[in-house]
Amino acid sequence: MVRAASLLAGAGAFALLLAGPAAARTVAVTAGPLGHTTARLHMDAFFSSNVTIHPGDKVRWTINGFHDVVFVPKGKAAPAFVSPDAAHPVTGAQDAAGLPFWFDGQPSIAVTPLAGLPTGGTKVDGSKLVGSGLAAGSGKAKPITFTFPKVGTYRYQCLVHPGMNGVVEVVPKSGAIPGPAKIKPAARKEFAAAMKTATKLGKVKPPAGEVLAGNDKGPVAWLRFFPSTITVKVGQPVKFTVKSKPEAHTVTFGPAAYTTAIEKGFVQVTPNPTGPPRITLNPLGVYPSDPPAVPLVDTGANHGNGFVNSGLLDADPATPQGATATFTFTKAGTYRYECVIHPGMDGVVIVSPPA
Ligand SMILES: [Cu+2]
């Protein structure tokens, strides 16, 4: 009632009232950036993150990036995006020299089915978890549409990117809701603010001898190494750090064809005759190339072809992996590396002879 009364004071409300009982509407939201951004800049946000609709209306999410849309009922914990699956150990993980990697036989890293697969139908009423699932591999995700039959406040999130949240407010039919003329500019305004933050974050300069993997804040996620080329001497350590949430990265050295193949097959879907397919992350990408206690020393010939990998790194204390990896190089040369999670997130370490 308060809502309706206060709206009567505004001219906009008058127009809404004249429109009378409208047919069910579909409101558009984008998961990820609203259109084009600078290369290597991504956004872990919904634009607009807050929409208001009437019961029976729909919201349609365009998925721009690796995101899902998951409504968790109030009071229930959100499922983790990935977890170790000891029942399905890694098998057949061999390096280019034909030797098994240390993680052969370790648990596979599985995407939680609730995060990876469509769950709970397309009606959101707060009674159960409803999730869009993810587009596996490099396939582009289809838009997802959910219907909201009941008045209420429905919070949702992307399980891949902690902190990427949104709200769908469903107000009674008597309550006014913003029309298309307001919705698009609101999303554009949020996006413009995010672009401003991105420009600032993109100017980061880490201390000498260090590389920052990504730089995130709020909706902004830079999928870049800062700096992307670093020069060190033989034996001088290079420290790679993921300082900010939510993006995870890897620092993966080796021949381009080899590391690119890991990147292309980063999300693996295995058919399962007794249930939904299993979705796992490529063990060659997520596990460090060498056991955790072994320093990452690049000789140019590791594992038969120069493969040295940090494995997953992130700044989230809730995950088992760390946020830093330090590499040293025993020979002068140019060493290319990439993050096998994010295509195009590449860098170079130039190693000069010792002084
Ligand atoms: Cu990355």
Q: What is the pLDDT of residues 122-132, one digit of tens each?
A: 999 999 999 99
Does pLDDT of 9 surpass 80?
Answer: no
Q: From ligand 1's centre to the CA of 40, what distance in Å?
A: 10
Beta bridge partners, 221, equal 42, 216
Domain finish residue from 155, 172, 199: 199
Note whether residue 261 is domain-resident.
yes
Note whether residue 219 is domain-resident.
yes
Rounded alpha-carbon distances, angstroms, from residue 319 to 72, 164, 208, 273, 314: 21, 17, 28, 31, 8
| Phi then psi dihedrals of residue 53, to 5 deg | -140, 175
Average pLDDT score over the chain = 89
Q: From ligand 1's centre to the CA of 249, what distance in Å?
A: 4
112-121, 174-183, 274-283, 344-353: the lowest-pLDDT one: 174-183
pTM of the model: 0.85
Alpha-carbon distance of 267 to 285, in angstroms, equals 10
Q: Judge if 60 and 169 occupy the same domain.
A: yes
Residue 43, token pair as written in the block: 């956004």
Alpha-carbon distance of 191 to 263, in angstroms, equals 29
| Chain position carrying tokens 């300069």 | 205
For 231-251, the pLDDT digits (tens) are 999 999 999 999 999 899 999
Q: From ligand 1's centre to the CA of 67, what distance in Å?
A: 15
Residue 49: alpha-carbon gap to chain centroid: 16
Q: From ligand 1's centre to the CA of 341, what distance in Å?
A: 5
Q: From ligand 1's centre to the CA of 42, what distance in Å?
A: 11
Domain count, the chain: 2
Q: Judge if 155 and 279 occupy the same domain.
A: no
Range of the domain at 344: 203-352
Domain finish residue from 145, 171, 199: 199
Q: Judge if 58 and 207 occupy the same domain.
A: no
Q: From ligand 1's centre to the CA of 338, what distance in Å?
A: 8
For 156-196, the pLDDT digits (tens) are 999 999 889 999 999 999 988 888 778 888 889 999 999 99
Q: From ligand 1's centre to the CA of 128, what distance in Å?
A: 33
Q: Judge if 167 and 207 occupy the same domain.
A: no
Beta bridge partners, 71, equal 130, 156
pLDDT at position 31 is 94
Residue 258, phi-psi category: left (phi > 0), alpha (psi -120 to 50), beta (remainder)? alpha
Q: From ligand 1's centre to the CA of 89, what distance in Å?
A: 25
Whichever domain contains 265, its CATH number is 2.60.40.420
Q: Judge if 248 and 342 occupy the same domain.
A: yes
Q: Judge if 168 and 272 occupy the same domain.
A: no
Q: Judge if 212 and 301 occupy the same domain.
A: yes
Q: Judge if 61 and 179 occupy the same domain.
A: yes
Q: From ligand 1's centre to the CA of 224, what distance in Å?
A: 7
DSSP symbol at 302: G
Q: Judge if 70 and 183 occupy the same domain.
A: yes
Domain finish residue from 199, 223, 244: 199
Q: Torsion over CA of 156, 186, 215 and 335, rounded to 10 degrees? A: 100
- Kindly state the helix (H) or strand (E) to which residue 7 belongs, with its residue range: helix 2-8
Q: Judge if 269 and 137 occupy the same domain.
A: no
